[in-house]
A and B are shown apart, each in its own frame.
Chain A
């Protein structure tokens, strides 16, 4: 199956090793990736969706038209990109007057959009299209003997009617099954579905409270699990959950928060035999404790 890879802004610019992990792992599992050449910002919710519908949907339309031209669906890892593109597509598909306006704006650029390309999250493609069994069958190494916890990207759960793919958004299973497929034991904890808090303006407008909010999650993980790592599938979760641990350590005056964070495709690529220096080389919380045990 061919899918159009939409990278967003943060992954290729700040964490290209995650991009490398996605490009390395997906083709082995039967997903051929074609680049979304000349894409633009998704648009981020804090940008055009916060100013007006015209610029919001014209920007979504620009991006969707790239996949439509290639005749395939879009695959994306960043939670915000996923949610923004899906919501943009919903508006364009279900409101003829909006679609008309977007096409009027796109016309001089030689583009058109009608919504025929769907927007899919990489974790959904892995969970529903490929499936945990197929993944398990391809591995060269495993996470056997290790404990993990999972962080569901909120943007893939809510609103479930528009973005969801889990049988129940209240009881998602995808990330858990995917990490189990790599051989790890997945621990549950009380704040598993709590948002990382990293997107949008929460950290910017009230950093104190945003950090405390994240702390409550990390404290629950430390108190209730034996985890060796956290698996995420969103670039914001990845960067925020690392950064906030470092901030918390400075506050409490000890190295209490040092749980390695991996994007799921990084763990997958490592288990498929790719080298950490390519697929998992950039981090702010050391990962050696996990990397040394993948065998």
Chain B
């Protein structure tokens, strides 16, 4: 492994927890991980190593954290309390902050209508099932505006405000 480009304190930017350093590469986190069956596989153990070693270039280019299904099995199994799922989220956050192409499109969707799906607009179907009308922020312009203004004060939304226009 080439450690020339490694940044010693990078872990503090990405996942600033002492627990990370207790990782001893045991691989237990891989044993029940669905995404470890992927191609390329999501290998939590390797990601922990990369964060500790400060491999910035490699980490920025890693797509595998986005294959995680959020099942948290790794978190249950890790004997050293590294909280690997939280580490996955932390790596994604760090990537999103440093590379706008990583910003997930779903946050634009949620900013625009409050949800990842068209909630509360399928009124005919809901009627036919005897379901009540839903009070959603999609249908409440004033609240939706407040929600957007709140988000606009948070780091990734404000840094990429051009994505949220209109």
Residues of A that sit less than 8 Å from B by CB:
7, 9-10, 12-14, 16-17, 19-20, 23, 35, 37-41, 43-55, 58-59, 62, 80, 83, 105-106, 108-109, 154-155, 157-160, 163, 169, 194-195, 197-202, 204-206, 208-210, 212-213, 278, 281
Contact = CB atoms under 8 A, between A and B. Distances in A.
Contact of A158 (B73, B120, B156): B73
B71 A206 contact: no
B104 A13 contact: no
Given A54-B155, A105-B154, A210 B73 contact: no
30 contacts: A12-B134, A13-B117, A16-B125, A16-B129, A19-B131, A38-B135, A38-B137, A39-B137, A40-B137, A40-B147, A41-B114, A41-B115, A48-B154, A51-B155, A51-B156, A52-B97, A54-B155, A105-B153, A108-B149, A109-B143, A155-B70, A158-B76, A194-B34, A195-B71, A199-B70, A205-B38, A205-B64, A208-B39, A209-B39, A278-B130
Given A12-B119, A195-B34, A200-B68, 11 more contacts: A7-B119, A41-B115, A51-B155, A52-B96, A155-B71, A194-B34, A195-B73, A199-B69, A199-B71, A202-B35, A206-B40
Contact of B129 (A163, A194, A278): A278
A54 B107 CA distance: 13
Contacts of B83: 159
Interface of B: 32, 34-35, 37-40, 63-64, 66-73, 75-76, 83, 85, 89, 92-93, 96-97, 103-104, 106-107, 110, 114-122, 125-126, 129-132, 134-137, 140, 143, 146-147, 149-151, 153-157
Chain A contact residues, majority secondary structure = helix
A13 B122 contact: yes
Contacts of B140: 38
Contact of B143 (A16, A38, A160): A38
A209 B151 CA distance: 36
Contacts of B149: 108
Contacts of A50: 66, 89, 92-93, 96, 104
Contacts of B64: 205
B93 A53 contact: yes
Contacts of A155: 70-72
Contacts of A49: 89, 93
Contacts of A54: 153-155
Contact of B72 (A41, A46, A83): A83
Contacts of A10: 117
Contacts of B137: 38-40
B143 A58 contact: no
Which of B75, B93, B119, B120 has the most C-beta atoms of chain A within 10 angstroms of its own C-beta?
Answer: B119
B76 A202 contact: no
Contacts of A205: 38, 63-64, 66-67
A267 B110 CA distance: 32
A212 B35 CA distance: 12
Contact of B71 (A7, A47, A51, A158): A158
- Top-5 shortest CB links A-B: A154-B71, A13-B117, A55-B154, A206-B38, A200-B69
A158 B129 contact: no
A109 B71 contact: no
Contacts of B92: 50-51
A47 B107 contact: yes
A50 B86 CA distance: 10
A20 B130 contact: yes
A194 B32 CA distance: 8
Contacts of A37: 135
A62 B147 CA distance: 9
